[in-house]
Structure 1
Amino acid sequence: MAADFDFSGKTALITGAASGIGAATARWLDAHGITKLVLVDMNRPALDALDLDCEVRRIGGDVSDSALWKIGMAEVTDLDCVLLNAGISDAFPIVDGDLARWRKLMAVNLDGVFLGLRHALKVMRSKGGTIAVTASAAAFKAEPGTAAYAAAKAAVVQLARVAAREGAEHGIRVNAIAPGGVDTPIWDGMDFFADMTKSLGSREAAIASMGEIATPLGRYATADEIAAQIGFLLSDLSANITGAVLRSDGGYTL
């Protein structure tokens, strides 16, 4: 089994790699022998701060910008594994929705995945490979205020399934992971979380409280747990799995 988690000799691309699930996956692949990582994120200083042992190419940029894929990624033509993880969060009720906010979220969370899939499928056609995309449990459960985020993630799920059908004849597997609540920095920019942190006295207490309330298992996942599950989807252990969606949500969508 250990050999199936051996990524030596392989190159992996990760978008949204500077923090959270993306950074945790970079560390996981590094620990499992990946030879080269291509890391993409808008936050270049945080990207540069990642301490990894393997060869690393760091690219600062917006995944929804086609120029990133045409120019910045032009020389990235040898990929074995890809994680399309870049995303942003926003929440607003439909009745109060602003089209600019809707389009910004769709651009990063959906267009960025489309552009990443297009690039990965092109470069993998000659020898095959594995792709994982980060969806969300929000794709399967309706909650007030999540229209834009949930719609984008639901679209990502179906986009991954179509990509799996199109990639299969070339030996390319495409799967999605749909986390529920995960302890990542994405919460830190939300007003309600800031209020909860202040009320409960610490960030850790706020995360724990949300997990207890929202999930049957009573906890949120860590980024490292999700990274290990992504590692499985990218590994030879999942060689017969494509077009699947792994829900890792603590029972949230039950």
Structure 2
Amino acid sequence: MDDTRRDFEGRSALVTGAASGIGAACAQALAARGAAKLFLNDIDAGGLDGLALGRSEVVPIIGSVADPLLWADLEEDLAGLDHAIVNAGIGAGGALMELDLAAWRRVMEVNLDGSFLTLSTAMRAMRGKGGSAVVISSTTGLKPVPGIGPYGVSKAAVAHMARIAAVEGAAQNIRVNAIAPGGVDTAIWDSSEDFKRSVEAHGREATLKAMAKTTPSGRFASSAEMAETILFLLSDAAANVTGHVMVSDGGYTL
């Protein structure tokens, strides 16, 4: 990524779910804009290895964000952290009346519990010096969408968690915001059997275009576009913005 902006020069940042999609785009944008040290988490070690991150020092963190021992081991290393992007998440399908508790808990464990562990650890690492964090929510946490109940509920919860964290962190000069993307072309869709069947029959581009018919802009966003908005919220350009849930959805929630 060619970027003349250096607004993260010399800073450190934590990104979860960094091996692909929005997380990878954020890691690449941070590196391009001068970040000195990147703590990158994912369960996909190969995906992290494949990122091109220039001169930034990279500390890979392999494991689930839902593992409290992972965060306990990292706490000392993260001391003095400047920024955090709480991004790791998984999707799930099925009507609420048909889901069992195990399927519900599998999503909540990563999307909600993992986000709590990530954010609380990052805020402790920023305590005494200040910093900023962005939590990745979703428009499905704002607008009811049938068939993805656990995902939508978890994303509604993390958005509110970000607002509570913003109030609690203000005295420590820690800003916390959330972003609620609409449709984005990421690998999370690949967990849907309906999506995979459509891709096999029509191709990925045609499938995404058909899905975007309910979005006024008529398209899904790219991960790089989402990264631009996330880094704005993370940066000093948004120094007076905290506790905000920014919707970036091409008009989907209108």
TM-score range, shorter chain: over 0.9
Bigger drift between 71-80 and 52-61 goes to 71-80
> Match of 2:169, SS?
helix
Instruction: Give the number of aligned pairs.
Output: 251
1:46 Cα offset (Å) = 0.9
- Residue of structure 2 equivalent to 1:134: 136
> Match of 1:183, SS?
coil
Q: Distance in 2 between matches of 1:101 and 1:135?
A: 20
> Match of 2:177, SS?
strand
| 8 Å contact from structure 1 (residues 5, 235) kept in 2 | no
Which runs of structure 2 are paired with 1:1-254 in the superposition (5 Å)? 6-53=7-54, 54-200=56-202, 202-211=203-212, 213-254=213-254
> Match of 1:174, SS?
strand
1:70 Cα offset (Å) = 0.4
Q: Distance in 1 between matches of 2:88 and 2:115?
A: 8
Q: Distance in 2 between matches of 1:244 and 1:208?
A: 30
1:4 Cα offset (Å) = 7.6
Deviations 1:24-51 (A, max 9, x none): 0001111111111100001111111112
| 8 Å contact from structure 2 (residues 5, 33) kept in 1 | no
Give TM-score, length-normalised by structure 1.
Answer: 0.96
Identity %: 49
Which amino acid is the alignment partner of residue 11 of structure 2? Answer: K
Give TM-score, length-normalised by structure 2.
Answer: 0.96
| Residues 30 and 161 of structure 1: CA distance in aligned 2, closer, same or farther (over 3 Å) | same
- Give 5+ residue unaligned stretches, structure 2: none
1:78 Cα offset (Å) = 2.1
| Aligned-residue RMSD, C-alpha | 1.4
Q: Distance in 2 between matches of 1:3 and 1:187?
A: 33
Which amino acid is the alignment partner of residue 137 of structure 2? Answer: A
